[in-house]
Every structure is written in structure tokens, then in C-alpha cells.
């Protein structure tokens, strides 16, 4: 994918759009700016359920691949000497004259890794957003990640973070303590966007750092070649992780609204370009649509939970919609 920073006219935003996201877009040196109270208040009534079975160390609200004690029946197996007779299913015995043990799905805590893209393309339109007091892609991704970390820890699960550009920049291992939120917010703040992206190398590092199955949430503009991206996501699914992708793009990148001779500043080591955008618009939009369709289909095929987001979308609405969908599907286990 080609990445350009437009140096032409900024795209105007409506007054309502600016007012309602004023606090989210304010530029601040305080890492806690990513923990936006209004967004947290909106999503705090929902739970982030794992659609894939996960492994954990303590009892929680998520299905485990191991059998244990819970209220949810899983299956029968034949009785063997030494089994606790309290788990015998006497109704089955009365019909078959054989002894069977009832097994239940153990509940486990969730370990989530939030993987945040902090490559140079994530600060596209930085000056435009600063003037409009709205969020660029980097701020949107960090705020979404921090708010989900709050929700995960609030439900007594563990959250950690990876930030990356060409390589992994910051790592905060998953923890469930309240102090973990400060560590995550600080890590995201320190990960200022630079460099281009080697998505496959980064995802491989995430996979190698997460030996037990869990939840991996990727926040990125995905402006990279599709083959290494899909290969990386398939690697995570092959290791039986539940994978979510928040594909965050600026409105300009989705609509290409530029007019008149414009100088596009190359990002991630690409050259500058001075041209008439009208000559590029149709080809750009066709190439973008082809890319989006292929990424969406690839995610669907692998069982990856994919969401395309504009930076103009209200973050609380986006997170609420995703969490509500996952809660509605929590009875479904995605297997390959």
C-alpha cells in the first residue's frame, strides 16, 4: 500500500463532530489521556468475552479447553475407578445400566495482548487533527487499546501491550492489577510513531511471547502488503488465539477528497509526489477497495474478528458495537 501525507487543504469537520470528540482529540503529554472517561463509561456495562477457548491460571468467565467445575455441562465419559461418584449421571445409568461421569467446561481468566501500530503512517493528518481537536490514527488506536485494557482488567482478566513499527518498541506483559493501566498508557505514550512496518516479524514476536492461547487485538491502519499480514494473522489462529483486528483509517484515506494541484508528502520512506489528485482518485479508490475486500475475506476465512473504523467514528459507539456483538456470539467457539 502507498502511504502519503497530504499537504493540501484540510477536510472540514462538522461542528457537532468537533464538539463531541473535543476531549478525545486534545493534544496532551499526559499518558492518561488515552483512558477517556466518557468512552469507558459507555462500554463498562459490557464484557469482552473470548469467542475462542483460552487457557488461564485462575477461574474467570471464559471457556477453557480443560475440564473442571462450572455450571456449564460439556460431555459424558465412562466411569473409571477413582472417579468421584458425586459426578455420576444416575439418569443415564437408569437407561443404559452403565456408569457415566458428567464433565463441565472449566472457566478461566482471559489473557489479552493489545498490539498497537505506531509506525509513521499512523500520524497521517496530524496537523489537521490538532487544529480540529480530533484524533489521528495513532491517538485513536491508543485510546481504543487503553479503554479495552481498562475493561479487561475491570473484569479481573489480564491485559498487556505490544507497540510496534519496524520492530516491537514497547512490551508490557499481561497483568490484572490496577497499576497495569498506568503501565499500558505510559508505554503507548512512549511509542511515538516512527519507521515503517514489518507486520509479519512483529506478529511472529507476539506469537512467540504468547505460548498459551488467549486474545490478541491488533490496532493498525494495515498499510502493508496483504500477504505478510494474512500470513501473520493465520499464524496466530494456528496457535488457537482468538484474534480481533481494528482496522483504523483516516477519512481522507477512504474517500480521497483532494482537489487541485497537491503535494503529497511520502511517509515510511516513500518519495513526495506533486500532482493533480483527480488523475489518481479513481485508480486509488479501486485499489483500496480491492485491498479491503481481500483483507476482510481473509479475516473471515480464518475466523478473525475484523472491524473497519474511520477516525471520524465515535469511539464509544465503535467499541460498544463490537463488544455487544461478541457478547451475543459468546456461545460460539471458533475453531479451525
Grid cell, residue 136, equals: 489521528
Amino acid 62: pLDDT: 63
The larger pLDDT score, comparing residue 177 to residue 39, is at: 177
Question: What pLDDT sits at residue 65?
Answer: 56
Q: What is the pLDDT of residue 27?
A: 45
- Please report which confidence band the pLDDT of residue 40 belongs to, taking 50, 70 and 90 as the band edges: confident
pLDDT of 117 reads 97
Between 59-63, 164-168, 319-323, the lowest mean confidence (pLDDT) is in 59-63
pLDDT tens figures, 174-230: 998 889 999 999 999 998 888 888 999 999 999 999 888 899 999 999 999 999 999
Position with higher pLDDT, 319 vs 46: 319
Site of grid cell 512512549: 190
pLDDT at site 109: 76
**Pairing status of strand 4-6 against strand 262-266:** antiparallel
Reported confidence tier of residue 15, pLDDT bands at 50, 70, 90: very low
Buried b (16+ CB within 10 A) or exposed e, 228-242: bbbebbbbbbebbbb
CATH architecture of 4-55+109-328: 3-Layer(aba) Sandwich (3.40)
pLDDT band at 17 (very low <50, low <70, confident <90, very high): very low
- Average pLDDT on 28-32 reads 67
Mean pLDDT lowest among 99-103, 161-165, 175-179, 331-335: 331-335
What was the pLDDT predicted at 332? 47
Whole-number pLDDT of residue 330 = 59
> 55-64, 138-147, 214-223, 284-293: which has the minimum mean pLDDT?
55-64
37-41 average pLDDT score: 77
- Tell me the C-alpha distance between 109 and 113, whole Å: 13
With contact defined as beta carbons under 8 Å apart, do 303 and 236 qualify?
no
CA angle 144, 169, 317 (to 5 degrees): 5
Lowest-pLDDT range of 69-78, 116-125, 245-254, 255-264: 69-78
pLDDT tops 90 at residue 5: no
The single-letter DSSP state of residue 302 is H
Domain spans in the chain, listed from the N-terminal domain onward: 4-55+109-328, 62-108
Amino acid at each position: 500500500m502507498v502511504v502519503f501525507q497530504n499537504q493540501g487543504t484540510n477536510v472540514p469537520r462538522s461542528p457537532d463532530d468537533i464538539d463531541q470528540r473535543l476531549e478525545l482529540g486534545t493534544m496532551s503529554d499526559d499518558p492518561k489521556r488515552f483512558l477517556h472517561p466518557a468512552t469507558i463509561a459507555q462500554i463498562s456495562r459490557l464484557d469482552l468475552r473470548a469467542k475462542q477457548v483460552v487457557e488461564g491460571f485462575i477461574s474467570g468467565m471464559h471457556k477453557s479447553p480443560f475440564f473442571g467445575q462450572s455450571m456449564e455441562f460439556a460431555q459424558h465419559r465412562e466411569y473409571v475407578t477413582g472417579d468421584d461418584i458425586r459426578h455420576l449421571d444416575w439418569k443415564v445409568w437408569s437407561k443404559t445400566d452403565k456408569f457415566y461421569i458428567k464433565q463441565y467446561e472449566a472457566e478461566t481468566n482471559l489473557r489479552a495482548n493489545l498490539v498497537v501500530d505506531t509506525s509513521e503512517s499512523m500520524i497521517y493528518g496530524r496537523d489537521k487533527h490538532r487544529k480540529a481537536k480530533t484524533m489521528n490514527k495513532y491517538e485513536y488506536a491508543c485510546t481504543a487499546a487503553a479503554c479495552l485494557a481498562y475493561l479487561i482488567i475491570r473484569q479481573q482478566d489480564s491485559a498487556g501491550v505490544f507497540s510496534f513499527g519496524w520492530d516491537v518498541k514497547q512490551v508490557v506483559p499481561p497483568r490484572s492489577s490496577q497499576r497495569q493501566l498506568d503501565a499500558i498508557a505510559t508505554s503507548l505514550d512512549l511509542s511515538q510513531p516512527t519507521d515503517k512496518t514489518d507486520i509479519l516479524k512483529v506478529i511472529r514476536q507476539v506469537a512467540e511471547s504468547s505460548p498459551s492461547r488467549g486474545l490478541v487485538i491488533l490496532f493498525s491502519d494495515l498499510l502493508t502488503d496483504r500477504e505478510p499480514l494474512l500470513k501473520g494473522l493465520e499464524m496466530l489462529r494456528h496457535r488457537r488465539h482468538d484474534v480481533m483486528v481494528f482496522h483504523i483509517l483516516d477519512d481522507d484515506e477512504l474517500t480521497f477528497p483532494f482537489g487541485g494541484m497537491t503535494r503529497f508528502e511520502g511517509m515510511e520512506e516513500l518519495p513526495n509526489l506533486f500532482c493533480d489528485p483527480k488523475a489518481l482518485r479513481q485508480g486509488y479508490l479501486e485499489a483500496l477497495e480491492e485491498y479491503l475486500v481481500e483483507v476482510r475475506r481473509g479475516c473471515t476465512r480464518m475466523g478473525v474478528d475484523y472491524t473497519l473504523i474511520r477516525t471520524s467514528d465515535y469511539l464509544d459507539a465503535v467499541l460498544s458495537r463490537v463488544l455487544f456483538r461478541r457478547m451475543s456470539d459468546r456461545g460460539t467457539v471458533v475453531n479451525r
